Amino acid sequence: MLKKTDWKTILKIAVGVIAVYLAIHYWPNISGIIGTVFSASTPVILGAVFAYPLNILMSFYERHYFPKSDKPAVVKSRKAVSLVGAVITVLGIISLIIGLIAPQLVTCIQMLINEIPGAMDMLIVKLKENEFISKNLIDSLASIDWRSRLTDIMQTVTSGIGDFAGVAVSAVTSVFSVVFNVILGVIFALYILIDKKRLGRQLNKVSQKYVPCEILEKISHVIGILDDCFHRFIVGQCTEAIILGVLCIIGMSVLRIPYALMIGTLMGFTALIPIVGGLIGAGVGAFLILMESPVKALIFLVFVIILQQIEGNLIYPKVVGSTIGLPGLWVLAAVTVGGGVFGIAGMLVSVPLVATVYRLVREDIAGKNELLRSVAADAPTKDKEV
């Protein structure tokens, strides 16, 4: 006769099998529901994502805002002042980056538009000197008024014709939706940071009520390591980006390459994307320099290649790897695999995740080795007693 515990086990297995069957059979409906819930929760998710790096700055200001003072006015104002300081810092950095990059970028685009007609004329002259190019093709290229064509293209882009209006409306709607979600995400982030201590207490009460103590202790330990790795990764990534941007500005200034401040700032900003971010900034920078001097653009590319080798093999693994406690080899492997599977988001998340797994495995191995050593140390004593 089956015991009561056996019936409970059989019932759990049966419920699990039925749940798996229903999930497979009705997966299209279930996936649609999950997609709808996820889409509706986007502002909340963005709020949590925005709140995490903001909390790093906020905690920094909280530690340095009259840390030894116990006056009621200081204690009450510490949270608000720290949050405002964190928001102002982020807005100031964004404004500085835009202010350094946008004006010169617009100037370069205008220069590009003005230089294209002359460049096409020079190209046609070179093609005429080449006997392998068809004369009809050269004549057709020469008959084109490139300046008027560029004007027509710009008018088409700005005013729009035909079906472009529908595409523009769709694009504007999509952009508006993204902007709206971002604004709501920022609002949620501010509320999360204002009530972070209360939310933490509520989460602890719920966890202690519904999660067994042993499991809760393990989960808390894993979350603590995960938080530490992400915290250290963000700080290390920002430090590495500043180092790369400063080195780029100094090197370009020494080599007398134009747009040193703008391109150095752009390189530092794109370097927030692990490993390959600097290459993106280098491509944009080389294109902008090419408009003024092809020779200097070539010199810039050589300089960036050397700088990227130093950054990718020495600075990044040392700064970020040592910050999160992950060897340089694993940093490069995490960025490569994460970027290949999930793109830029994978590059940003893979390093702290691998660092978390690395630390957990190392702790587990160390614990087992300690247990084996203690057993080995007790064994001779037991033999002697026998």
Contact (Cβ atoms closer than 8 angstroms) between residue 365 and residue 335: no
Q: What is the pLDDT of residue 142?
A: 60
Select the more confidently predicted residue: 56 or 25.
Answer: 56
% of residues, the chain, pLDDT over 90: 5
* pLDDT over 80 at 368, yes or no: no
| Angstrom distance (rounded) from CA 283 to CA 290 | 11
Secondary structure E strands in the chain: none
Q: What is the pLDDT of residue 122?
A: 65
Most confident of 10-19, 31-40, 75-84, 128-137: 75-84
Neighbours of 323 (CB within 10 A): 19
Question: What's the rounded mean pLDDT across residues 276-294?
Answer: 80
* 3-class DSSP state of 222: helix
Q: What is the pLDDT of residue 250?
A: 92
Domain boundaries, the chain: 41-156+167-210, 213-374
% of residues, the chain, pLDDT over 70: 73
* pLDDT over 70 at 357, yes or no: yes
Q: What is the pLDDT of residue 382?
A: 45
What are the angstrom distances between the C-alpha of 110 and each of 114, 230, 238, 291? 6, 41, 32, 10
* pLDDT over 80 at 120, yes or no: no
Select the more confidently predicted residue: 165 or 205.
Answer: 205
Question: What's the rounded mean pLDDT across residues 345-367?
Answer: 83
Question: What's the rounded mean pLDDT across residues 226-249?
Answer: 86
Task: Give 336's Cβ-side CA count (13 Å radius).
Answer: 7
- Name the least confident of 18-32, 113-127, 331-345: 113-127
* 3-class DSSP state of 144: coil
Contacts of 187 (CB under 8 A, 6+ apart): 43, 47
pTM: 0.68
Neighbours of 288 (CB within 10 A): 23
Q: What is the pLDDT of residue 88?
A: 93
Residue with tokens 């057993």: 375
* 1 burial type by CB count under 10 A (0-12 exposed, 13-18 middle, 19+ buried): exposed
Q: What is the pLDDT of residues 31-41, one digit of tens each?
A: 888 888 888 88
Contact (Cβ atoms closer than 8 angstroms) between residue 356 and residue 222: yes
Q: What is the pLDDT of residues 147-179, one digit of tens each?
A: 566 566 555 555 544 444 454 455 556 667 778
Contact (Cβ atoms closer than 8 angstroms) between residue 108 and residue 288: yes
* 167 burial type by CB count under 10 A (0-12 exposed, 13-18 middle, 19+ buried): exposed
Q: What is the pLDDT of residue 383?
A: 47
Neighbours of 9 (CB within 10 A): 12
What are the angstrom distances between the C-alpha of 342 and each of 47, 230, 288, 346? 21, 18, 30, 4
Reported as a pLDDT band with limits 50, 70 and 90, residue 281 is confident
First to last CA, the chain: 44
Q: What is the pLDDT of residue 145?
A: 60
Q: Which two tokens stand for residue 20?
A: 């798996």
State the chain's mean pLDDT as an integer. Answer: 77
343 in the Ramachandran plot: left (φ > 0), alpha (ψ -120 to 50) or beta?
left
* pLDDT over 90 at 27, yes or no: no
